Structure 1
Amino acid sequence: MRRPFYKILYVQVLIAVAAGILLGHFLPHAGEAMKPFGDGFIKLVKMIIAPVVFCTVVVGIANMGDVKKVGRVGGKALIYFEVVSSVALVIGLLVGKIVQPGAGFNVDASTLDAKSISAFTSGASHSSFTDFLLHIIPDTIVGALAQGEILQVLFVAILTGFALSAMGPAGEPVLRAVKAAEQVIFTIVGIVMRAAPVGAFGAMAFTIGAYGLASIGNLLELIATFYLTALLFVLIVLGLIARVVGFSILKLLRYIKEELLIVLGTSSSESALPALMRKLEHAGAPKGVVSLVVPTGYSFNLDGTNIYMTLATLFIAQATNTPLTLEHELMILAVAMLTSKGAAAVAGGGFITLAATLQVVPEIPVVGIALILGVDRFMSECRSLTNFVGNAVATLVVARWEGELDLARLNAVLNGSVETPAEPLSTPR
C-alpha cells in the first residue's frame, strides 16, 4: 500500500518550508519567535553526527581489513575534492568577472559599519592552514567525540578502525559492539528525522521574519547570480561527471529530494548527513567508501562555498570600486582554496571563510562584507545544497574509481525499481 502523501517526509518538509515563509512574511515577529524550533532541530542532528561518523568509519575501515586500501580511497577522494573544488572556484571567479553583480554600487568603504562584521573577522583571524592541520588532532580521544567536530572525530575513528583491523580476531568483540552501537544511533536518526518539518518551519520562519523578503531587493542580482551559477555547476559540471560514472544527476537529485528539502529548510548540510550516508549505501556504494568520503567531503569538498567565496569577493571589489589585476585574482583563488578547507558545513560557515579570504587580500576592504551581511542567510541555503549534492556525487565517483560501485543497483534505485528503505529515512508507514 502506498502511503498517503501527507505522511511522506519530503512533502511534510515542503509544506513546513512554505508555511514558514508565509508566517515570516506576514507576521515577522511571530516568525522570529520560531527560531528555537530550527535551532533545536539542528542541535538534535549535531548531537548524533559525531557518533554516526565514528561508528560508520570504524566499521567501514575494520571491514576493509586493508590499510593500503583505506589510504588509496582517501587519496582518490582528496584528488577529486581538489580538482572539483578548483573548478568551482574558477567558475565563481569567471561569473563574477562576466556578470559583474557589484558594478554600479559605488560604495565608500569608510562609511561601512565595521562593528557589524567583527564577530566574523575575529573568528577568521587565526585560520592559517597550519592551525587548521593542528586542529585536526584533538586534545583527547573522548574530547573529539564530546566536541563533535567532524575532522577530529574522523581522525580518531580512522585510528580506531586501523587498530581493530590490526588486532584481527582479538578486536572482534569491540567491532561487534561498535556495529551494535551503530544500529542504535541510526534508529535515533530515524526518530530525530521525524522532527525535520518542525525544524524546517522554524528556521525558515525566522529567516524571513528577521530579514524580510524586501531586504534582498538591492542585492537581488548577486543572489540570483549565485543561485544560477550553483544550479549550472550542479547540472553541467556534476552532471557531466555523473554521466561519465554512469548515472543521471537529475535522477540522483530526485532520489535525495527529502534530504535536499531538509537542507533547504535548515540551511545546514549537516542536518541530512546520516540520511545521505544510508541512502548512498542503499544505492550500491560500499560502506567503507561512504564512511570515508562523505565525512571528509564535509570539510574538503565544499563546492557551493567555493563558488560563493570567489563570486562574493569579486562583488565586494566591484561594489567598492577596487581594481583587481590578474595577480590579485590568482591570489584570491590560491587563498580561497586554503581557507575553504575545514569550513563548517553549517549556516554562516561560508561567511566566516569569506572573511578569512579577504583578510589576506589587503587590496579589497574586509569591511566590504558588511554589504552582504543582511542577505548572506538567503545564500547559505544554496551553499549548503550545492555542498550536499557535491558530496553525494563525490562518493559515487570514488566508489566507481575503486571498481566497487554496484552500477546496476545504483541505476535500479535511481529509476525507482528498488524501493528506498522507509527507516530511518522517512516517516514510517
Structure 2
Amino acid sequence: MIIEHSAEVCGKTPFYRHLYVQVLAAIAAGILLGHFYPELGTQLKPLGDAFIKLVKMIIAPVIFLTVATGIAGMTDLAKVGRVAGKAMIYFLTFSSLALVIGLIVANVVQPGAGMHVDPASLDAKTISTYAEKAHEQSIAGFLMNIIPTTLIGAFAEGDILQVLFISVLFGISLAIVGKKAEPVVDFLQALTLPIFRLVATLMKAAPIGAFGAMAFTIGKYGVASIANLAMLIGAFYLTSFLFVFVVLGAVARYNGFSIVALIRYIKDELLLVLGTSSSEAALPGLMNKMEKAGCKRSVVGLVIPTGYSFNLDGTNIYMTLAALFIAQATDTPLSYGNQILLLLVAMLSSKGAAGITGAGFITLAATLSVVPSVPVAGMALILGIDRFMSECRAIINIVGNAVATLVVAKWEGELHQAQLCAALAGEAPIETKATIAQPAE
C-alpha cells in the first residue's frame, strides 16, 4: 500500500489505469470470448452499440461549444473562411492521393486475380440494402442536407455537418455582436468545462464497449472467415500502413513534427476506434487532444468535424482497392480509361455519401453503380470481411484528420509549437487559456 501511495504522489499512474491498456485488454478478451463462445459473443453486440450511442450523444455539444467559442474569439472573421478554404484544399489533395494509391496497389498486387467468380452466381440480395442507400445519395442532396430543417433539429439528429453549420453561423454572430455578446461567450466557455468532464466520464466505459463490439465481430464472422480473402485484407492494411508512414509521415516531417510521436500521442483514440469500429467514438477525445497539443480552438473546431466528412483517407484507399478487387475476381476487364473514370466517380461519391453509417461500403456501392462495367453484385464477395477492414479505415481517417489539423493550424499561424512539442514528447502540458478539462487516463 505504501508503494502504491508513493507512486501516485510522484504522479505515476499504475499502468492498468491507463485507458489504452484497459481497451487493449478488453479487445483481447473480446476476441477470445468471440472465438471460443461465438453465440455468447454475438449477444454482446448491445454493449458496443450502447457505448457508441453514449459518445454520439455528446458529440453535438462538443462541436458546438468548441466552434462557437473559437470563432467568437476571432478578431478577424476573414480567418474563418481562410481556415475552411485551406482545410478543403488539404482534404481534396490527400483524399484524391489516397484514391490514386489504392488504384496503383490494386494494379500491382492484383488481390482478386485467379478467383474466376461468376457474377451471376453471387447473391445480389445481400448487398441490395447498401445499393439502395447509395442510390439515394447525390452531391446536391448531400449539400442540401447540410442545412437542418430546424435549429434544434441538427442537435436532435446529431448530424455532424449540420451541427458544424449552425456552430459556425452562431460563432460569427457572436463575433459580430461583439461586447454585448460577452456574457453569452462567457457562459459557453464555462459550459465547456463540465461538458468535457462528461466526456472523460463516458470514456471510462470505453473498455466495456470495445469488449462487446469485438466479441460480436469475432463471434459472428469468425477469424477463419477472413482466410480466403486474406490477400485483399493484407493489401489494404499494407497500403494503409505505407500511406500513414510514408505520405503522411513526409507531410508531418515537413511541418516539423513526427508521425510516430503523433500516433503515440493519440493512441487512446486509435485503440478506441479499433475496438468499436467507429471513428465517431474518438471525435470528442481527438478534438480535446489537438487543442491540448497547441492548435487554436477555432482551427480544431473547423478542421476535425469537416474532416470527418471530407478527409476520409482510409475509406478512399479502400474504395479503389476493393473496386479493382471485384473486377479482378469476376474477370471483368478494366481499361485505364475505365479506371480513371472509376477514380473520378469515387472522388465525388466519397463526398456524397459522407456521414452515413457504413459509409465505406455504401460509397463503394454508389461508385460501382455509376461504373456499370464492374458488377455491383461482386460486393457480396467482400461483405463478410468488410467489418475487418472498417477498423483500419476508421483508424487511417483519424490519423489523417489529426495531421490535417496540425498542418492547417501551422499554415494559419495558430499552432503553439512549444505546446505541441511538449504534448508529443509526453511532457506535462503547457497551460494556456485554450486548455480545457482533459479526460483522465
TM-score (norm 1): 0.97
Residue of structure 2 equivalent to 1:330: 340
Structure 1 residue corresponding to 2:73, chosen from 63, 67, 71:
63
For residue 257 of structure 2, the aligned residue among 232, 240, 247 is 247
Deviation at 1:349, TM superposition (A): 1.9
Deviation at 1:379, TM superposition (A): 0.1
Which residues of structure 2 form unaligned runs of 5+?
1-9
> What's the CA shift string for 1:214-245, capped at 9, x where partnerless?
10011010001100100110000000000000
Deviations 1:114-161 (A, max 9, x none): 111111011110211111111111111110111101011111111111
Structure 2 letter corresponding to 1:172: E
Residues 270 and 345 of structure 1 are in contact (CA less than 8 Å); yes or no, is this contact kept in structure 2?
no
* Match for residue 192 of structure 1 among 202, 209, 228: 202
Q: Is the 8 Å Cα contact of residues 290 and 395 (structure 1) preserved in structure 2? A: yes
Distance 2:416 2:300 in 1: 13
Question: Are 1:222 and 2:246 counterparts?
Answer: no
CA offset at residue 178 of structure 1?
A: 1.9
* Matching of residue 353 in structure 1 with residue 367 in structure 2: no
Q: Which amino acid aligns with 2:71?
A: I
Q: 1:201 to 1:347 in 2, by over 3 A?
A: farther
CA contact (8 A) 2:310 2:354 kept: no
Match of 1:233 in 2: 243
In the other structure, the counterpart of 1:148 is: 158
Structure 2 distance, partners of 1:69, 1:94, is 37
The answer to whether residue 116 in structure 2 is matched with residue 106 in structure 1 is yes
- Who is 2:288 aligned against? 278
Taking the aligned partners of 1:125 and 1:354, their CA distance within structure 2 comes to 11
Q: Aligned partners of 1:326 and 1:141: how far apart in 2?
A: 47
Matched residues, number:
427
1:426 is aligned to 440
Superimposed CA distance per residue, residues 7-28 of structure 1 (whole angstroms, 9 cap, x where no aligned partner): 1110000000000000001110
Distance across 2 between alignment mates of 1:195 and 1:346: 25
Following the alignment from structure 1 to structure 2, what is the Cα–Cα distance between the partners of residues 53 and 9?
Answer: 23
Which of 132, 136, 139 is the aligned partner of 2:146?
136
Asked whether 1:213 is paired with 2:223, we answer yes
Distance in 2 of aligned mates of 1:100 and 1:232: 17
Maintained 8 Å contact 1:103/1:318: yes
Aligned residue type for 2:137: S
| Aligned AA (2:233) | I
Which range is displaced more, 341-350 or 205-214?
341-350
Counterparts of 1:251-400 in structure 2 under 5 Å?
A: 251-341=261-351, 343-344=353-354, 348-400=358-410
State which drifts further: 374-383 or 285-294: 285-294
SS at match of 2:112: coil
8 Å Cα contact 1:23-1:31 kept in structure 2? yes
Assess, with a 3 A threshold, how the Cα gap between structure 1 residues 125 and 346 changes in structure 2: closer, same or farther: closer
- Aligned-residue offset at 1:407: 1.8
What letter corresponds to residue 425 of structure 1 in structure 2? P
Give unmatched runs, 5+ long, in structure 1: none
Q: Distance in 2 between matches of 1:207 and 1:364?
A: 29
Identity %: 62
- 1:203 paired residue among 200, 213, 216: 213
The Cα shift of 1:418 comes to 2.6
- The CA distance in 2 between the partners of 1:23 and 1:358, in whole Å, is 37
- Residues 289-336 of structure 1 show CA distances to partners (whole Å, capped at 9, x for unaligned) of 111101000000000000000000000111111111121111111111
Give the match for residue 3 of structure 1. 13
Alignment check: 8 A CA contact 1:300 1:342 kept: no
Distance 2:149 2:428 in 1: 45
Deviation at 1:345, TM superposition (A): 5.9
Rounded Cα–Cα distance in structure 2 between residues aligned with 1:176 and 1:113: 58
**Residues 374-409 of structure 1: CA deviation (Å, up to 9, x unaligned):** 000000000000000000000000011112212222
User: Match for 2:32: what amino acid?
Assistant: L
Aligned partners of 1:59 and 1:178 also within 8 Å = yes
Distance in 2 (CA, whole Å) between partners of 1:195 and 1:187 is 14
Counterpart in the other structure of 1:83: 93
- Opposite residue 167 of structure 2, the aligned amino acid is A
Give the SS at the match of 1:137: coil
Do residues 53 (structure 1) and 53 (structure 2) align? no
- 2:125 matched to which residue of 1? 115
**SS of corresponding position for 2:423:** helix
| Residue 159 (structure 1) aligns with | 169
Select between 399-408 and 247-256 the one with higher mean Cα deviation.
399-408
- Corresponding letter in the other structure for 2:309: S
What TM-score, normalized to structure 2?
0.94
Moved more, 406-415 or 109-118: 406-415
Deviation at 1:188, TM superposition (A): 1.1
2:190 maps to 1:180:
yes
